[in-house]
């Protein structure tokens, strides 16, 4: 576990593959929908993935008339590997050599950013969705991107066309099987718009809805959230999380039994999860020296974005934070993060939403601010967002029924 909570190599974007390409590239969450467009014979390229056929090959996806893509919120590759005894269906897929490797999610490894990356086949620098909370450039305040509180209109913030929109425009059936409350949510409108949305209140209902939709050629999207929901509340190493995994595995097995023959099922996640160590919690409210020059604190406890007051030197501010967090986090300036390509290509209109300082936690460390965050946020047992293997390695499991 120590190795898995160390910082991983940087994640980059493109169609490269193999060890020389580094982490991400074709083996990335952003590749999944463009690759599936190639699977279905309607290839859709994006600004970071010009070759959908190459992505299909790298991810090992067979061509088919119908595909179901399932995103299991919070099911990191290594979280799953550590609990495979409780997931017989997923274990059967991981026993296949082609499936037994992780792909990468984005940085930050969090739902809002990852859904934008997944839905558009691009990157946070193009979607403008760079964290759980981030600057709203229109008013200079923080916005929250799960419920889109104090945020720009979803279609204004995220202007990249989704893969779903582009497939539907070419006449392909595109269906979502989801919870009623997400049908017209800000996150759906920003990152996942363009599908025919069919609601199901229980996971079993949504599985049957997805399987029924797959009888017609096209693409079906199914979202399962219990693993993440339970992980945040109880941590991912306890009995509660195992029970959620067992239910999710049963749902996925039911999907495999219910779709018509010849359907391709692809199972991915948006991020993994780390157990927060209460002894390694760093409360910014207790450090007045570090508060100097900081205007807003965005991001999340594992991947903080600090927005500095005008005129503050980012490198000098970064050095103060590096000294305070030595061995517990990696502190980078915005310039360093952009130069490393961590957000992919960045549109000028989106650059302000990225913090002036980016802090990636190591081990079980969390950075909280009790001045503005409630007890639930500051003491959350299951967290994610940083650049560790546990948080950024995700499964990509393929089942040709």
Domains of the chain by start residue, with CATH: 11-275+388-400 (3.40.720.10), 278-381 (3.30.1360.180)
- Provide the residue-wise pLDDT of the chain in tens; the chain has 401 residues: 779 999 999 999 999 998 889 999 999 999 999 999 999 999 999 999 999 999 999 999 999 999 999 999 999 999 999 999 999 999 999 999 999 999 999 999 999 999 999 999 999 999 999 999 999 999 999 999 999 999 999 999 999 999 999 999 999 999 999 999 999 999 999 999 999 999 999 999 999 999 999 999 999 999 999 999 999 999 999 999 999 999 999 999 999 999 999 999 999 999 999 999 999 999 999 999 999 999 999 999 999 999 999 999 999 999 999 999 999 999 999 999 999 999 999 999 999 999 999 999 999 999 999 888 888 888 899 999 999 999 999 999 999 99
d(CA 58, CA 98): 10
Name the H helices within 282-326: 288-291, 314-324
Chain length of the chain: 401
Residue 198 burial (CB < 10 Å; 0-12/13-18/19+)? middle
Give the list of residues 6+ apart from residue 275 with CB closer than 8 angstroms, or none: 235, 236, 237, 364, 381, 382, 383
Name the H helices within 158-238: 163-169, 186-191, 203-213, 226-234
d(CA 363, CA 221): 34
d(CA 237, CA 254): 25
Give the list of residues 6+ apart from residue 301 with CB closer than 8 angstroms, or none: 276, 361, 366, 367, 368, 377, 378, 380, 383, 385
Angle between helices 226-234 and 239-258 (to 10 degrees): 180
Are 127 and 155 a contacting pair, CB within 8 Å? no
Beta strands in 85-180 (DSSP E): 103-104, 133-136, 141-144, 173-178
Are 154 and 190 a contacting pair, CB within 8 Å? yes
Are 380 and 228 a contacting pair, CB within 8 Å? no
Are 262 and 216 a contacting pair, CB within 8 Å? no
Are 205 and 178 a contacting pair, CB within 8 Å? no
Q: For tokens 């980078």, what's the residue? A: 332
What is the tally of helices (H) and strands (E) in the chain? 17, 20
d(CA 399, CA 262): 10
Are 246 and 87 a contacting pair, CB within 8 Å? yes
Task: Give the phi and the psi of residue 61 in degrees, each rounded to 5.
Answer: -100, 125
- For position 80, what pLDDT does the model report? 98
Are 357 and 306 a contacting pair, CB within 8 Å? yes
301's tokens? 């406890």
d(CA 354, CA 33): 25
For the entire predicted model, the pTM comes to 0.97
d(CA 89, CA 70): 14
286's tokens? 């207790």
- For position 73, what pLDDT does the model report? 98
Nearest 5°: the CA angle 168, 169, 171 is 65
Strand, coil or helix: 83? coil
Could you give the maximum distance between any two Cα atoms of the chain, in Å? 63
Query: Around Cβ 243, how many Cβ atoms within 10 Å?
Result: 14
Strand, coil or helix: 165? helix
- Of 226, 288, 285, give the one whose Cα is nearest residue 251: 226
């Amino acid at each position: 576990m120590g190795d898995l909570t160390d910082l991983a190599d940087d994640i980059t974007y493109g169609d490269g593959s193999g060890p020389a390409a580094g982490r991400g590239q074709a083996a990335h969450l952003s590749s999944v929908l463009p690759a599936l467009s190639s699977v279905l014979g309607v290839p859709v390229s994006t600004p970071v993935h010009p070759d959908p056929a190459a992505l299909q090959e790298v991810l090992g996806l067979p061509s088919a008339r119908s595909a179901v893509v399932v995103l299991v919120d919070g099911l990191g590759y290594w979280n799953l590997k550590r609990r495979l005894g409780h997931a017989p269906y997923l274990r059967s897929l991981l026993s296949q050599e082609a499936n037994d490797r992780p792909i990468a999610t984005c940085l930050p490894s969090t739902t809002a950013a990852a859904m934008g990356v997944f839905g558009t086949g691009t990157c946070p620098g193009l979607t403008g969705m760079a964290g759980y909370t981030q600057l709203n450039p229109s008013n200079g305040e923080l916005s929250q991107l799960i419920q889109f509180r104090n945020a720009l209109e979803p279609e204004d913030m995220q202007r990249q066309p989704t893969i779903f929109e582009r497939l539907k425009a070419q006449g392909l059936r595109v269906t979502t099987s989801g919870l009623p409350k997400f049908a017209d949510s800000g996150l759906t409108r920003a990152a996942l718009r363009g599908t025919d949305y069919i609601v199901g209140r229980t996971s079993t209902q949504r599985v049957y809805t997805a399987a029924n939709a797959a009888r017609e050629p096209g693409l079906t999207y199914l979202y399962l959230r219990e693993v993440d929901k339970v992980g945040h509340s109880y941590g991912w190493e306890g009995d509660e999380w195992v029970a959620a995994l067992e239910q999710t595995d049963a749902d996925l097995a039911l999907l495999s039994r219910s779709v018509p023959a010849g359907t391709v099922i692809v199972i991915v996640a948006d991020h993994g999860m780390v157990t927060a160590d209460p002894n390694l919690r760093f409360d910014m409210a207790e450090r007045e020296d570090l508060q100097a020059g900081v205007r807003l604190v965005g991001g999340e406890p594992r991947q903080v974005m600090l927005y500095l007051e005008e005129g503050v030197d980012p490198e000098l501010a970064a050095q103060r934070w590096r000294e305070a967090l030595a061995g517990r986090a990696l502190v980078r300036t915005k310039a360093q993060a952009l130069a490393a390509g961590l957000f992919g290509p960045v549109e000028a209109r989106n650059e302000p939403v990225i913090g002036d300082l980016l802090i990636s936690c190591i081990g079980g460390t969390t950075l909280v601010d009790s001045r503005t965050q409630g007890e639930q946020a500051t003491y959350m047992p299951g967290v994610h967002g940083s650049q560790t293997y546990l948080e950024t390695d995700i499964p990509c499991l393929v089942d040709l029924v």
